Structure 1
Amino acid sequence: MLTDKFGRNINYLRLAIVDRCNLRCTYCMPEKGLTWIKQNELMTDEEMLRICSVFTAMGVDKIRITGGEPFVRKNSIDLIKNISQLNGLNDLSITTNGLLTEPYIPQLKQYGIKSVNLSLDTMDRGRFFKITRRNSFDKVMKTLDGLLQHDIKVKINTVVMEGQNTEDIIPLVLLTKGLPVEVRFIEEMPFNGSETDVSLNWNFTKIHSYIKDHFPDIQKTVDPKSSTSYNYKIPGFEGGIGIIAAYTRSFCGDCNRIRITPSGILRTCLYEGGGINLKDEIRMGKTDEELKNIIISSIHQKPKDGWEAQKLSLTASQIHQSMATIGG
């Protein structure tokens, strides 16, 4: 089992398989997109599979496939299939915007995907277009329906943005009344790919108070170990609600996560600026044992929390890098 210097067991890898995305969400990247990673700097399928195999051999039993948008990557479904077959892997999940996902749902079910995080920031078509700069609301809803029909657990990720979608909080809460979904409201973060600062007005406390004003009987539920969300349920509702303090970072104490960017950089914290490039180490001929030693050394340097990570290594320019390049 991988353990950091604070005694936290690291068993959860977030693997970003591509930086590109078919949406242009205002909180993630500029309208014209980003300077994408060059093809030869991206990890190959074989390199990703090898890295995942090394991590599962070291006790990582949960992997989440992220991006960018994972299904933008060519033949991503084959990569997902191969990762799903790794020894020691107990939980493989995906985060997606839902635009290209729906045709792959039967295969996801076949490969043992039990949970999908679906990005959806509004229930209004007009606001969806304004936020994402794409007219694709119906595709996302079709994906949601397909996932539920195949009994795949759905967590809806909603970034709460002042002046853009706060009026959607209650409609999204009401989505949990008749559907077995968990809607998770996320504090806006600075990783928007531009120099635009985010509003910190709608933090965890305000989001919770706003929901409680409309649903006074909302109840706190037990948070799973290492959960990033504080979880709630409204009596009589089929689904649940989560609030993620992504910017105020109050969940770092028992963090069990690490991430690999699309270019192969191992980052022990979302707010970490540097990291070891495992892809480069592979291309230099490192053995699996050598890779394990590099990983152990990196994990040992994992910061106490996101504030420490930002203070130690995140530069002013990196604060506004896009989440797509970090690895969602």
Structure 2
Amino acid sequence: MSLSSLTIEPALIDRYGRRIDYLRLSVTDRCDLRCTYCLPKGFKDFEEPKHWLNFDEIERVVAAFVRLGVRRVRLTGGEPLLRQGLSDLAARLSSLPGMKDLSLSTNATQLVRHARALKQAGVSRLNVSLDSLQSDRFAAIAGRDVLGDVLAGLAAAQAEGFSPIKLNMVVQPGVNDDEVESMVRFSLKQGFILRLIETMPVGETGRQSGFLDLQQVLRKLAQKFDLTPSALELGGGPARYWQNRDGDFTLGAITPISQHFCATCNRVRLSVDGTLYLCLGQEDKLALRPLLRSGISDKELEQAIRNAISLKPERHEFREQPSKVVRFMSATGG
């Protein structure tokens, strides 16, 4: 085989040698819940719709990322199902040449109405936020008692064949940390992957929610449910996984504070207004919307993305400077 016949796949490599192949795409900063660690009660300072990237602009940016070697895209928010026409956008993105994995993060309150259309549009996997199985506690955390809607949404997703379905539980001390074992049993019974997440100090709400080191929690769960570390790679994200002896339950942990994963970070985030955030815990960013609306060419867009990736910081500073990031999580994208 001659060298000229070899196909060299494009790649985004940052200055620390990390390959960036995962884009988390926020389609809205609005949400129908007010989870205590994400948005404060009464918050109304959302981005104006005229500043949102429209679907043509989103498709153009994602296509540029895919040409540069990104293979995984996750639709996020806010609550992405609040963006009108989301399944149409998903269909456009899933059909891009080179796209291998289109997934969605959701609180599932709207999922009953959208599950079928999303599956038909090419969304293959779901991450569902679920912090409690107790209605009163769910309402205290999320601001509304819609646990029944979430559970119905999960059932609808299973009926449509989404797999895997991951439950994301943000574990907060004195709030829901006593419910972890119940969530494990629920996930085992229903066939869900459970992922436990440490609260991150993003915005004032994140800092006020309190931090629980998950390492001790994980040791107890491993012993109680006979879990052993697994080399599973599920979705390209930062979770570490364990499985039980029978292989019918998988537990994941996302531990940005107690055991950060910055050395292997493979992702960037695009907010609803077209801001490319290079690190969840830093302020490094690039505003793409002005470039898109000034008539930038595709080649210039690709070069702008490459230039931004070259500035991706080595790591967050959640421990050293917990008050550094003032934007709320919903503004960045999940």
- TM-score clears 0.5: yes
Aligned to 1:224: 233
Distance between the aligned counterparts of 1:121 and 1:290, measured in 2? 43
Distance between the aligned counterparts of 1:134 and 1:269, measured in 2? 31
Distance between the aligned counterparts of 1:165 and 1:195, measured in 2? 15
- SS at 1:14 equivalent: strand
Residue 52, structure 1, aligned to residue 62, structure 2: yes
Aligned to 2:293: 283
Residue 179, structure 1, aligned to residue 185, structure 2: no
- SS at 1:86 equivalent: coil
- SS at 1:306 equivalent: coil
Offset of residue 73 of structure 1: 1.2
The structure 1 residue matched to 2:311, chosen from 273, 276, 301, is: 301
- SS at 2:59 equivalent: helix
Aligned to 2:129: 119
Q: Over residues 21-61 of structure 1, what are the superposed CA-to-partner deviations in whole Å (9 max), with x where a residue is unaligned?
A: 00000010111124101122211111111111111111111
Offset of residue 249 of structure 1: 5.2
Q: Which moved more, 1:176-185 or 1:222-231?
A: 222-231
Aligned to 2:7: none
Offset of residue 96 of structure 1: 0.3
Q: Over residues 228-283 of structure 1, what are the superposed CA-to-partner deviations in whole Å (9 max), with x where a residue is unaligned?
A: 11111222362211111033452121211111011111111111213111111111
Q: Which amino acid aligns with 1:105?
A: A
Q: Which moved more, 1:245-254 or 1:164-173?
A: 245-254
Distance between the aligned counterparts of 2:319 and 2:173, measured in 1? 24
The structure 1 residue matched to 2:169, chosen from 158, 178, 184, is: 158
With over 3 angstroms needed to count, the CA separation of the structure-2 counterparts of 1:96 and 1:193, relative to structure 1, is farther
How many percent of aligned residue pairs carry the same amino acid?
Answer: 29
Distance between the aligned counterparts of 1:44 and 1:80, measured in 2? 13
1:26/1:192 contact within 8 Å kept: no
Q: TM-score, normalising length from structure 1? A: 0.92
Aligned to 1:169: 180
Q: Could you list the runs of 5+ residues in structure 1 that have no partner in the other structure?
A: none
Q: Which amino acid aligns with 1:321?
A: R
With over 3 angstroms needed to count, the CA separation of the structure-2 counterparts of 1:288 and 1:64, relative to structure 1, is same
Q: Which moved more, 1:229-238 or 1:43-52?
A: 229-238
Residue 250, structure 1, aligned to residue 260, structure 2: yes
Q: TM-score, normalising length from structure 2? A: 0.91
Distance between the aligned counterparts of 1:253 and 1:63, measured in 2? 20
Residue 82, structure 1, aligned to residue 82, structure 2: no
Offset of residue 111 of structure 1: 2.0
With over 3 angstroms needed to count, the CA separation of the structure-2 counterparts of 1:249 and 1:21, relative to structure 1, is farther
Offset of residue 105 of structure 1: 1.2
Aligned to 2:82: 72
The structure 2 residue matched to 1:272, chosen from 282, 295, 300, is: 282
2:207/2:322 contact within 8 Å kept: no
Q: Which amino acid aligns with 1:3?
A: I
Offset of residue 315 of structure 1: 9.2
Residue 28, structure 1, aligned to residue 38, structure 2: yes
Distance between the aligned counterparts of 1:122 and 1:114, measured in 2? 25
Offset of residue 196 of structure 1: 4.8
1:176/1:237 contact within 8 Å kept: no
The structure 2 residue matched to 1:145, chosen from 133, 147, 155, is: 155
Offset of residue 222 of structure 1: 0.9
Q: Over residues 290-315 of structure 1, what are the superposed CA-to-partner deviations in whole Å (9 max), with x where a residue is unaligned?
A: 111111111111112223x997xx89
- SS at 1:145 equivalent: helix
- SS at 1:131 equivalent: helix
Residue 37, structure 1, aligned to residue 37, structure 2: no
With over 3 angstroms needed to count, the CA separation of the structure-2 counterparts of 1:234 and 1:195, relative to structure 1, is closer
Q: Which amino acid aligns with 1:165?
A: N
